[in-house]
Structure formats: C-alpha cells, structure tokens
Structure 1
Amino acid sequence: MSDEFLFAEDEPEQNPEVELEPYHILIVDDDQEIHTITRMALGDFKLDGHPLDFTSAYSGAEAREMLKYRHDFALVLLDVVMETDHAGLDTAQWIREEQKNHLIRIVLRTGQPGQAPEEEIIAKYDIDDYKEKTELTYRKLVTLIYSCLRAYRDLCSIERNKLGLEKVIEASAEVFSARSLNQLCQGILEQIVALLTRSDDAAYCRVNGLTATSSDHEPFEIISGTGDYAAAIGHTINKDVDQSVVNRMQALPSSSAELVGGHYYGLYTTNSGNQYLLFIRNIKELSELDTKLLRLFMNNTAIAIENLSQIQAQSVDSSRGE
C-alpha cells in the first residue's frame, strides 16, 4: 500500500476565497500610457480583501459625463491638463460643488510641474492630494491608494451610520408600534454593521417557534436588512445561510454566535421558541467587544419584539372582552 494512499485524507481542505466587491477607480488622463501604467502597477492591489476595478476617461468632459450616472467611484486619479490647461481643476470643482459628492477621493496629477503652486491648489480645491507624475513611483502610488481608499471606506461607514441614526431618531417618537420597532431595529442594524464590521450586507431574521426546529428547516424571514438585503425585507433568506451552521447553533444555549467562512451567525431563541438570526456576510475579523455588541443587539431587539407582540395580543383580547 502506497504512502500516497495512506496520507491522502490528511491534506487540508481548500476553501475558495470569497470574492469581495471591488473599489472602483476612475483614471482621467489624455495619455493612454498613463492608463496602462496605472493598471499594471495596481493590478494586484487589495484593501481588506477588496480588489480594484478601473474605468478610463480621456478628458474632463468625458469624466463628468460618467460621474453624472455612476456614484460608486471611490477614487479619481485626475490629470490637470487635458482638453484645456485647467480641465482637471474644473472637473474637481464640479464634483464637489455641483455633484455634491464629498465621498469620492480626488487626486490631481500633473505632468507639467510648476504650473501652479501646490499649496494654492490644495487650499482652493477640495482635493486629497496633488502629485507630479514624475514623483509617483510604484511605492508612493501604492501608499497613496491605501490612504485614499481607507479614507473613503471610513467616510462611507460614517455616512451609513448617519442614515441609521436618522431611522433611530424617527422611530423614537412611537416606540410601541410595530412599524416603529421594525424601523428602530433597522436603524440600529445599519449603525452597528457600519461601525463594527465594515460589511455592507447584513440580515436580521426571524422564524416562528413552531417551525424553527422542524425537519423541513423553515427559512428565516428578513425583518431588517442592509446592503443586498435592504430590499429583501419581508422575504425569506435561505440560499446565503448555511443551514448546517444554524442546526449546530440550535443545540447550544439560547444565545450563540459563530464566525464561519467569513460570515457571522448570531442566533437567539426566546422563551416562546421563536428564533432570531443575525447574518452578516463577508467579515474579515471581529474583536471581543464587537461580538459582544452584536450579540447585545440581537438579544435585546428579539426581547423587545416579543414583548411588543405580547402587549398587542393582550390589547386585542381586552378589546374583545369589552
């Protein structure tokens, strides 16, 4: 019997790498060579596992036309001199003042050093950096991309957190209505996901206690969602959730959490047997405090929903008795 046969089963399993949404970069330059060099230099770049996706424009006018209809660019590398001597400056000003886009990072690049003082341009235009093309070595370019994309990532988290806070404030006026409680859960979920996980896609779900432990594995209904799940509220989640993970968690205490294959699972079972699942897709890592806060959100919102349901049921019974 060969050694190859004896030890074949000892080889570690190869888990396929999760493909994350890329950061979109807009290169604006009238020199084709600049586009080629930039793509080659940054072809293998990744931030938090997210690769880069490049789009090219060859004039300020073409860039503005693209930016009118696309709002997912994280960074624009913008040549100063193109169809006019100040086409890049005009485009940067248009992005900030007319489009009101304050999330996208803007880096001006010039092949004509000394055309305008660097301090004057940085002071007048809301840009993130101003570089001469000759000084942008590979190392400096990579450092620049890291700093700009991290700033963009953090600004997006703050923006999502603001939207979540808005929902919480709106819901606080009528905290004892079902609609308001769902809105409150949605607002808190948006904030906590943006702050802790740097993930866009999270679903907070519920399954009825009568079917939670059935052999048919009744799918969880989404009651709050962000990212890809925001438009799926009221629908079931099944294809993304690994049911074997949920089955394993159902055998654990009422509140349990696992990080499996980059996905977060949190399960809470109420006294009535209803189960609440928090599923967050594509997480790099979580600290102990992050996990504690996620579990606190899951447990407390589940209890609040259960309490509200009981209050509403008692109210219905009282009205019938009258």
Structure 2
Amino acid sequence: MNDFLFADDAPSNDVPPRSHATSMPPFRILIVDDDEEIHVITKMALSEFHLNHRRLEFVSAYSGEEARQLLSQQHDFALVLLDVVMEHDHAGLDVARWIRETLRNRLIRIVLRTGQPGQAPEEEIIARYEIDDYKEKTELTYRKLVTLMYSSLRAYSELCRIERNRRALEHIINASAQLFSAASVKELSRGILEQLVAIVTHADTAAYCSVDGAIDGVTAAGSSAANLRVLAGVGQYQHDEGQGLAKHVDQQVIARLIQRQQPVSFEIHQQDYYGLYHTTDGRYYLLFIQGIVKQQHSGELADSDQHLLELFMNNTAIAFEHAQRTQHTE
C-alpha cells in the first residue's frame, strides 16, 4: 500500500453530511493518474465533500493521452488533479501546458501531484507552467485535500462569475443600438440577468418568464397550471427563450406568490429563488434563479440584493411590454 492513504487525519465535521445535498449540478473533477489506488483513495476521501450545495463528480483518466481526449470532449471540468509521471516522466507537465496553450482553457484549476518530487522541483514547475498548485502525494492528508478542494473550487467559481459578467456586458453592448426592439430587449435582459444573478446570488442559472394560466384556481389567465414562457435565460436556460419553462420549477410556490396579490413578492424554496412581478394591467412575470447562495447562509437575501432583483423584474417587464406594443403598432 502507498503511504499517502490519509491515515494521519481522521475525517472531521468540516464537511457537511450527504443528506444536505441538493439538485445543484456537481463540480466535476478529473483525476489523472496511472495508479488505480490514487483514484480510489481520492474519491473515498472526498465522497462527502460539498461546497455551496454542490457535490463532487469524479471522472478518471489513467494517462496523459486519455486526459487530453476527455478534456477535448468535455469542457465543464472545474479541477484536474494531475499526476506528473505517467506514460513518461513529464506526461502530466505536457498535459498542463496543453490545457493552457492549445485548449486555451483558463478556467479549469490545475493541481499537479507527484510521488517523485525530485524529478520535478516545485519552484521550477510553478515558474514554468501555468498551474494553480503543486503537491507531493505524501503530504496530501485528508484535511489538506479538503482544504485544496475549497480553495481551488472557490477560485474556479469566481473565475466563472467573471467570465459570465464579461459575456453579459457583451449582450448589453450589442443590445444598446436598438434599445426598444423586441430582439434588443431580449439581448439586454439576458445580459443584465446574467450579471445580476452572478453578483447578487452567486448563481449561474436563471430564467425571466411571462406567466399565463392559473394555478389551483388562482387566475393568471385561465387554465389549470401556470404556463411559463422564457423571455430571457442564462445558464441551462439560455437556449430556452421563447419556450416553456417546466424543469425544476415548483408550481405550488408560484401559486402562493399569486395568491398574495402584491406588486412584487418572492420566496426562496430549496435554494431556488422565485420572484413574481404583478403589473398594473394584471400581467405576471416570474424571475426564477436556481441554486442561490444566501447571505452568510442565514436563509435570507440582503435587503439591498432583493431590491436589485425587484428593480430588474419591474424594469424588464416594462421594457418587454413596450417592445410588444411597438411591434403591434408597426
């Protein structure tokens, strides 16, 4: 057996139990090592880990070439734990360079792991390669591995937010030329929504919808269930604009919000945000954000954050209705 089996650190209470897991998509971790035992040990040690209600999903590769194939086909890995010595002495180093220079992936976190530190001195490797950490396998105790996950995945999440904000700014700039056409309102709303949910709620999946139909007898138009049509979407809803929204949405929450008959009301249900805007002419609009991170895990959004979300719902509804009226009169 190897001598890096986490025997010196017993699992602590730092990692929440499995029962706290949600439907949030997991962080995907690529383990690249030619030693099967390393894969087993790593997965076992991190089986209960989660961050911001997201667990880990592991994918294994046993050579540098296999890692390249996986990374070429799948672009959503958050972290790669990369062995240095595999099919040859610098196989892992070649993969690290390929990720940054050929694949041009700047988001994925790269952690090199070596069982032969003398072959790849730490200072030289960090200076020459665009990696995020360098660890000897013998020093990766259970606790240090968990710490590594926290630091690497938080950095990855922050970089993803920055990238989303950059894309959102592009949407806003592209929409500015024809502000009140239907197409530009969608583009502008998508850009603002992408920035808003990333900054305010630390989420990456959201949809702004028009609401038609009725729920449990509460009239929003006339049928037995709310018909949610996506006007602007980000994350997994970015390609659903103009289509119905059904997945992950709890109709009973929407019914409760309609029953309040307030201009703006919201509810946080199982880490998802439901915000309902009721216009003066009786129309409803829903802002749905999947997997928000609430303020300091208090269970509530800050008042200032909720104000921004309400402002978005109000102004976006006005913009869409203005665009529709303009389109009908042309």
TM-score, normalised relative to structure 2: 0.85
Aligned to 1:157: 161
1:72 to 62, 73, 76: 76
Q: 1:189 is aligned with what amino acid?
A: L
Q: CA deviation at 1:296?
A: 1.0
Is residue 291 of structure 2 the alignment partner of residue 287 of structure 1?
Answer: no
Change (3 A) 1:142 1:219: same
Q: Secondary structure at the match of 2:287?
A: strand
Q: 1:254 is aligned with what amino acid?
A: P
Q: Secondary structure at the match of 1:127?
A: coil
1:265 to 274, 283, 286: 274
Q: CA deviation at 1:228?
A: 2.4
Q: CA deviation at 1:308?
A: 3.3
Is residue 317 of structure 2 the alignment partner of residue 302 of structure 1?
Answer: yes
Change (3 A) 1:231 1:78: same
2:119 to 115, 122, 126: 115
Aligned to 2:256: 248
Structure with the larger helix share: 1
TM-score, normalised relative to structure 1: 0.87
Change (3 A) 1:159 1:142: same
Q: Secondary structure at the match of 2:238?
A: helix
Measure the CA separation in 1 of the matches of 2:312 and 2:251. 22
Q: 1:165 is aligned with what amino acid?
A: L
Q: 2:48 is aligned with what amino acid?
A: D
Change (3 A) 1:129 1:249: same
| Structure 1 segment 7-156 matched on structure 2, within 5 A | 18-156=22-160
2:222 to 214, 237, 240: 214
Q: Secondary structure at the match of 1:195?
A: helix
Measure the CA separation in 2 of the matches of 1:45 and 1:310. 51
Q: Decide which moves more: 164-173 or 110-119.
A: 110-119
What percentage of residue pairs aligned between the two structures are identical?
A: 58
Change (3 A) 1:148 1:217: same
Q: 1:55 is aligned with what amino acid?
A: V
Cα pair 1:194 1:200 within 8 Å, conserved: yes
Measure the CA separation in 2 of the matches of 1:239 and 1:98. 36
- Per-residue CA distance 1:162-211 (angstroms, 9 max, x = gap): 11111111001110211111111111111112222232321101136997
1:199 to 203, 207, 217: 203
- Per-residue CA distance 1:75-111 (angstroms, 9 max, x = gap): 1111111111111111100010000011110011111
Q: How many residue pairs are counted as aligned between the two chains?
A: 301
Measure the CA separation in 2 of the matches of 1:178 and 1:289. 29
Change (3 A) 1:262 1:139: same
Say which one has the larger Rg: 1
Cα pair 2:209 2:231 within 8 Å, conserved: yes
Measure the CA separation in 1 of the matches of 2:20 and 2:28. 23
Q: CA deviation at 1:38?
A: 0.9
Q: Decide which moves more: 199-208 or 296-305.
A: 199-208
Greater RCO (Cα-Cα under 8 Å, separation 6 or more): 2
Cα pair 1:208 1:273 within 8 Å, conserved: no
Aligned to 1:235: 243
Q: 1:305 is aligned with what amino acid?
A: F
Q: Secondary structure at the match of 2:222?
A: coil
Cα pair 1:204 1:222 within 8 Å, conserved: yes
Q: CA deviation at 1:135?
A: 1.2
Unaligned runs of at least 5 residues, structure 1: 1-14, 317-322
Aligned to 2:187: 183
Cα pair 1:111 1:134 within 8 Å, conserved: yes
Aligned to 2:16: none
Q: Decide which moves more: 193-202 or 62-71.
A: 193-202
The runs of 4+ residues in structure 1 deviating greater than 4 Å are 208-211
Cα pair 1:22 1:53 within 8 Å, conserved: yes
Unaligned runs of at least 5 residues, structure 2: 1-18, 295-300
Q: 1:172 is aligned with what amino acid?
A: S
Aligned to 1:3: none
Measure the CA separation in 2 of the matches of 1:239 and 1:142. 32
